[in-house]
Structure 1
Amino acid sequence: MTETGIIDTHLHLVNRSRLTYPWLANAGSLNADWSLESYGAEARRVGIIKALHMEVDVAENDIGNENTWVAELSQQEQSLICGIISACRPEGDGFAAQVERAKDDILIKGFRRVLHVIPDEVSKSTKFINNIRRLSGTGLTFDLCLRADQLKLGMALVDAAPDVSFVLDHCGVPDIAGEQFLPWRNDMADFARRDNVTAKVSGIIAYTRTEQWVLNDLAPYVQHVVDSFGFDRLVWGGDWPVCTLGGGLSTWVAASQALLAGATHEERAKLFSGNASRIWKL
């Protein structure tokens, strides 16, 4: 792992003077600007060598502007940004054109539409499903970001688009603070039976008892994801700056390394870099 470095598949950057983020008004300490310079300074110290920028749920009319801004950042000297997971609206009429543009854009590696901010009926609609199917054969992935109680919703979407490559964010967003392990465990094992899904070990320190958590609080969740998906279908994400709610990027990197200390060098290399490099051709 230390020889290959870490590819962070989940980086959020925020520029409130350039883009509009409707959700930030109620986001507490996250309602701030989060720059590539601040991230990069810490990321390099902990061995991160590349990062995929993950869309930050900007206002719909700013989706293209967010991609343009991140592309500019990727051109900066020693920039860690190697790709973009773009925001999208598969429930709308413009998705087909967006996919066509993305196929010619070497930076855009996939799409995400956060499902827990829209009614469940939206992602069940024929238009939404047919639009997601457009990703088949393109090499573009679709990130699934949903709550633990929506995992069956996510599975239904995966089943409706079996030729699309999906990435399940944040270990399926378990309610670690509420100790709701069993329902999540069963649904995650079911999710893992779909071989077109990769799980992302990311974000979970934000679902703990804030900064009071200890490693053993996380261990059953990470171990279950590893056991269910196997090291060939796992990637790692920092989820900066959301990870600052649970201790920060350096803390999450250290926790991840401790949680996976029992894995072989080859297994850790797959999770921390190899799989991401293969999936997104980084």
Structure 2
Amino acid sequence: MSRIDAHHHVWDLSVRPHAWLDSAKLAPLRRTFTLDDLAGPAAAAGVEATVLVQVLPDLGETREFLALAAGSELVAGVVGWIDLTAPDVAGTLAALPPGLVGVRHGVQSEPDPAWLNRPDVRRGLAAVAAAGLAYDLLTLPHQLPAAIDTVTALPELTFVLDHLSKPPIAAGELEPWRGRIRELAARPNVYCKLSGMVTEADWEGWQVADLRPFAEVVLEEFGPDRVMFGSDWPVCLLAAGYERVAGAADELCAGLSESERADVFAGTARRAYRLQSRL
């Protein structure tokens, strides 16, 4: 079965600083990670194509990622960053080289839980939709109400929820996250990544059983045709290697039909990010 990893990163600490890595608990990630580092583990997991996702709020990084994708047989598309609040989002997008399939902003770091509802942000998101791109939602559970409002207000834009909106897996608390996910999934223009779960669990002691209740919620509410696998490499290395993350996804999807698994591991990403022309 052809596989797409719909969410991974790279970074080169010799090019620009990554202040988010200064935390002591993130010390294992405080080195450069390249596409060459990813190639072996991805191939071993049967991954034939990937989506490279922004790390920093830096247009320069986005341009570099697009150049990496242009020279790579592995990367099928880039989710980059632009300033959604700028006056000419459309012009910025039009000036970027080919390969961009989506845009993301680190909403999880915004102190205003209603940041997505700001008029300037909504204007920027409308420009993303007009450019034929998707928008990745990087939110925390308490920011989901604003996400629900936003996807409702912009039905023409494809949204992709990253990491299940980072539910409290380590604590095993399904509510109020589950109710908000149900409401978000009722909007047909939203997809969800089965990604980032191991780092929301107990890094040292997690088991697939800890992830299962949360995975079952998104598979039930979105349906496999709107769920896609993502490794979140190399961030996942805080809790598990690539092989174990991919294996956990296999276990979580074992009860699905062959066609449903084909959606989760490739078809959904192709549709959401319009990757057909690049694969």
Give your verdict on TM over 0.5. Answer: yes
CA distance in 1, matches of 2:273, 2:225: 14
Q: Which residue matches 1:71? A: 66
Q: Which residue matches 1:110? A: 102
Q: Which residue matches 2:212? A: 219
CA distance in 2, matches of 1:151, 1:28: 30
Deviation at 1:32, TM superposition (A): 1.6
Match of 2:95 among 85, 97, 101: 101
Match of 2:164 among 156, 163, 171: 171
Return 5+ residue gaps in structure 1 as ranges. Answer: none
- Amino acid of the residue matched to residue 92 of structure 2? Q
Match of 1:16 among 6, 9, 13: 13
- Is the CA contact 1:84–1:109 (under 8 Å) kept in the aligned structure 2? yes
- Amino acid of the residue matched to residue 177 of structure 2? W
CA distance in 2, matches of 1:70, 1:109: 12
CA distance in 1, matches of 2:130, 2:123: 14
Deviation at 1:31, TM superposition (A): 2.0
Deviation at 1:20, TM superposition (A): 3.3
Scaled by the length of structure 1, what TM-score is found?
A: 0.91
Deviation at 1:29, TM superposition (A): 2.1
CA distance in 2, matches of 1:82, 1:232: 20
Q: Which residue matches 2:234? A: 241
Scaled by the length of structure 2, what TM-score is found?
A: 0.92
CA distance in 1, matches of 2:41, 2:125: 35
Q: Which runs of 4+ in 1 moved over 4 A?
A: none
Partner SS state of residue 102, structure 2: strand
Partner SS state of residue 204, structure 2: helix
Partner SS state of residue 72, structure 1: helix
CA distance in 2, matches of 1:267, 1:32: 37
1:52 pairs with 2:54: no
Return 5+ residue gaps in structure 2 as ranges. Answer: none
What are the superposed Cα offsets for residues 242-274 of structure 1, whole Å, 9 maximum, x if unpaired?
111121211110000011111111000011001
Deviation at 1:75, TM superposition (A): 4.2
Q: Aligned in 2, Cα 1:128/1:71: closer, same or farther, shift over 3 Å?
A: closer
Deviation at 1:53, TM superposition (A): 0.6
Q: What RMSD, in angstroms, separates the aligned Cα atoms of the two structures?
A: 1.6
CA distance in 2, matches of 1:152, 1:41: 39
Match of 1:128 among 113, 121, 126: 121
CA distance in 2, matches of 1:144, 1:276: 15
1:250 pairs with 2:243: yes
What are the superposed Cα offsets for residues 211-264 of structure 1, whole Å, 9 maximum, x if unpaired?
301111011110110000011211111100111112121111000001111111
What are the superposed Cα offsets for residues 124-182 of structure 1, whole Å, 9 maximum, x if unpaired?
22111111112234320000001112111211221222211100011121110122212
Deviation at 1:94, TM superposition (A): 4.4
- Is the CA contact 1:163–1:196 (under 8 Å) kept in the aligned structure 2? yes
User: How many residues get paired?
Assistant: 272
Q: Which residue matches 1:90? A: 84
CA distance in 2, matches of 1:25, 1:183: 31
After superposition, where does 1:204-215 map in structure 2 within 5 Å?
204-215=197-208
- Is the CA contact 1:88–1:111 (under 8 Å) kept in the aligned structure 2? yes
- Is the CA contact 1:73–1:79 (under 8 Å) kept in the aligned structure 2? no
What are the superposed Cα offsets for residues 64-84 of structure 1, whole Å, 9 maximum, x if unpaired?
x223322333344x6311111
Deviation at 1:25, TM superposition (A): 2.0
Q: Aligned in 2, Cα 1:79/1:18: closer, same or farther, shift over 3 Å?
A: farther
- Is the CA contact 1:91–1:123 (under 8 Å) kept in the aligned structure 2? no
CA distance in 2, matches of 1:54, 1:157: 21
Identity of counterpart residues, as a percentage? Answer: 29
CA distance in 2, matches of 1:100, 1:72: 16
CA distance in 2, matches of 1:281, 1:147: 26
